[in-house]
Amino acid sequence: MRFLSSLLFIIVLLSACSEKRKPADLIISGGTIYTVDEKQPKVEAVAVTGDRIVYAGTLKGAEEFKGEKTQMLDLKGKVMTPGWVEGHGHFMGLGFNELELDLMNVKSYDELVEKVKEAVAKAKPGQWILGRGWHQDKWDQKPSKMVKGFQTHELLSAASPNNPVFLRHASGHAGFANAKAMQLAGVNQLSVEKLSKDMNEGGEIIKDELGNPTGIFNERAQSLISNYIPKETEETNSKALELAIQASLKNGITSFHDAGASRTSIELFKKFKQEGKLQTRLYVMLTGFDPSLVYEYFRMGPVIDSTGLLTIRSVKLNCDGALGSRGAWLLEPYTDRTDFSGMATLSMDTVAKISIEGLKYGFQICSHAIGDRANREILDRYEAAFKGNPEKAKDVRFRIEHAQHLAPSDIPRFGQLGVIPAMQAIHLSSDRPWAIERLGEKRIKEGAYMWQSLLKSGAKVVNGTDVPVEPINPIASFFASVTRQTLKGEPEGGYEPAEKMTREQALKSYTLDAAYGAFQEKILGSIEAGKLADFTILSQDIMTVPDNQILSTKVEMTIFGGKVLYEAKK
């Protein structure tokens, strides 16, 4: 018996040695490698065969995998992390942002108008001028005429009298139309009251004191204009998808949680995957705006890709608006608009119903909620669904997208219920300077951007950018996570500094915890043998450089499935 045991040990040992000597395709060393693996947080080298990591450890150990054809990649002192995961964004929106007017950096209404004039000069007669990214609260100079905190259309209409214009707010929760667009849509002083009554709940047409539409369409009212915009062609959609993939790789993003994909987009993703052109791992949330699509997938069941290349197992519900457009649903009225508390953009009965059916059919429910009331109402619906279906409510990882402003009593409920807050730290950098006008000091300090409190509740925070609401740059969101400052480095010490993440927490929120938010932590998110070989290589060590140097970090290289798909130009 002892002889057989010894023989078995020798066979296992020889097998292990033989496996060790099997040459790898790629060995990476020569820099600092952060694994986000608690067992060994840093390693000297990584070996890759095909699209998988076969070894992570010492350089000496990695050299056992070296063969004649093994590619050796010297980091030359740079830093490597697991591939970064965009935990909440809009993939096609990222692509279309490259094709349409990008208004993200516009500093005034006059500058916006100038950009539209330039677009009109290049456009065909009657062609729609489309864009996104303006945010009136971020302008250096406010227009002289404003209604309910927004500009009015007169200057825009004068700049483009014959071309219809529709420009989406940075948040995507409001739109700005010129007179020509409103004329085509039949929106005028006589029709606006009827249109408001006919419209589904959750929308608002902003009007001036005389009852004239100002050109601002809030939340679901945007459809009054957008329904008249010509549909994109397959060629345009394909180009947008290509641009989204390129932008992701350039920013070190190897996986992307697509927060609300349409039927058209999903079919295009499938086509790109079949053709071998899908070079970002997509975790797709079905848009709740298309119930027929949702129920079609409920009947089919989740689509779970073992490589994570295209996974469809979640549903995105849009439950309130944004803070910038005052659509976020609050428990108490806005500090700067005391007659208004925002709005639900979806019936809470629908949230309750879909939550139960998500459990039944094996789909994760991801609900957009920014305001404190929206967050509470959704937590209530999730909790009721879990209690009513205890056998199916095990490890379901329901999410709340944004979870931006919370009542203090609701913060512990995330950890208690196992609900994931998918938050975008960059929103603090962009929004905190003006958000205090919306919410007042007490609500901001007790319940806004509560990352550390949520982590202490036992919740896993998923990070991201909400692109194209913000640029896809993960370095900026990492900076916001650990400093709670604007991108100008203000204020000193950060806003509400007790809620900062540590650098380890911030990196994990963009890698392993983000993978957990998509049920993919066994294949993604850390550098461990057996996991996919997705890596992000950075110009400097974001874990050790001073705070004021983090934003100068560049993505030097992106490795996807063991292949270098992006390399910065020298």
Q: How confident is the model at residue 191 (pLDDT cuts 50, 70, 90)?
A: confident
Q: Picking from 25-29, 208-212, 519-523, 530-534, which range would have the lowest pLDDT averaged per residue?
A: 208-212
CA distances (Å), origin 106, targets 112, 170, 354, 387 = 6, 11, 39, 48
Q: How many other C-beta atoms lie within 10 A of the C-beta of residue 6?
A: 10
Q: In the 8-state DSSP scheme, what is residue 137?
A: G
Q: What is the pLDDT of residue 189?
A: 78
Q: How many other C-beta atoms lie within 10 A of the C-beta of residue 416?
A: 12
Mean pLDDT of 320-343: 94
75-88 per-position pLDDT tens digit: 999 999 999 999 99
474-513 per-position pLDDT tens digit: 999 999 999 999 999 999 999 999 999 999 999 999 999 9
Q: How far is CA 289 from the centre of its chain?
A: 18
- The vertex-77 CA angle with 73 and 82, nearest 5°, equals 65
Q: What is the pLDDT of residue 170?
A: 86
Mean pLDDT of 377-399: 97
Helices 91-99 and 234-250: angle between axes, nearest 10 degrees: 100
Cross-strand partners of 93: none
- 328, 345 in Cβ contact below 8 A? no
Give me the percent of the chain exceeding a pLDDT of 90.
86
- Please check the confidence at residue 9 and state whether its pLDDT lies above 60: no
- 314, 365 in Cβ contact below 8 A? yes
d(CA 35, CA 533): 12
Q: What is the pLDDT of residue 99?
A: 85
Q: What is the pLDDT of residue 138?
A: 87
Q: How many other C-beta atoms lie within 10 A of the C-beta of residue 161?
A: 10
Q: pTM for the full model? A: 0.86
Helices 234-250 and 263-274: angle between axes, nearest 10 degrees: 70
Tokens 């040992």 belong to which residue? Answer: 13
- Please check the confidence at residue 420 and state whether its pLDDT lies above 90: yes
Q: What is the pLDDT of residue 441?
A: 97
Structural domains of the chain sorted by starting position, each given as residue range(s) with its CATH number in brackets: 1-77+525-570 (2.30.40.10), 101-226 (3.10.310.70), 319-461+469-501 (3.20.20.140)
d(CA 463, CA 525): 13
Q: In the 8-state DSSP scheme, what is residue 210?
A: T
- For the residues of 37-98, what is the DSSP string, one character each? -TT-SEEEEEEEETTEEEEEE-HHHHHTT--TT-EEEE-TT-EEEEPEEEEEE-HHHHHHHH
Q: Picking from 36-40, 232-236, 431-435, which range would have the lowest pLDDT averaged per residue?
A: 232-236
- Please check the confidence at residue 11 and state whether its pLDDT lies above 80: no
Q: What is the pLDDT of residue 196?
A: 67
Q: How many other C-beta atoms lie within 10 A of the C-beta of residue 424?
A: 29
**Bigger pLDDT: 5 or 376?**
376
- Residue 308: exposure state from Cβ atoms within 10 A (0-12, 13-18, ≥19): buried
Cross-strand partners of 134: 169
Q: How confident is the model at residue 14 (pLDDT cuts 50, 70, 90)?
A: very low
Q: In the 8-state DSSP scheme, what is residue 525?
A: S
213-219 and 165-169: which strand pairing?
unpaired
Q: Which secondary structure element, helix H or strand E, spans residue 351, and what is its range?
A: helix 348-361
403-415 per-position pLDDT tens digit: 999 999 999 999 9
Q: What is the pLDDT of residue 198?
A: 61
Mean pLDDT of 358-376: 98
Q: State whether the Cα torsion 372-373-378-379 is positive or negative.
A: positive
Tokens 């740079």 belong to which residue? Answer: 78
- 317, 366 in Cβ contact below 8 A? yes
3-class state of residue 487 by DSSP: coil
Mean pLDDT of 522-542: 98
d(CA 338, CA 319): 21
Mean pLDDT of 39-63: 98
d(CA 62, CA 49): 12
- For the residues of 526-550, what is the DSSP string, one character each? S--TTSB--EEEESS-TTTS-GGGG
3-state helix, strand, coil in the chain (%, to 5): 40, 25, 40
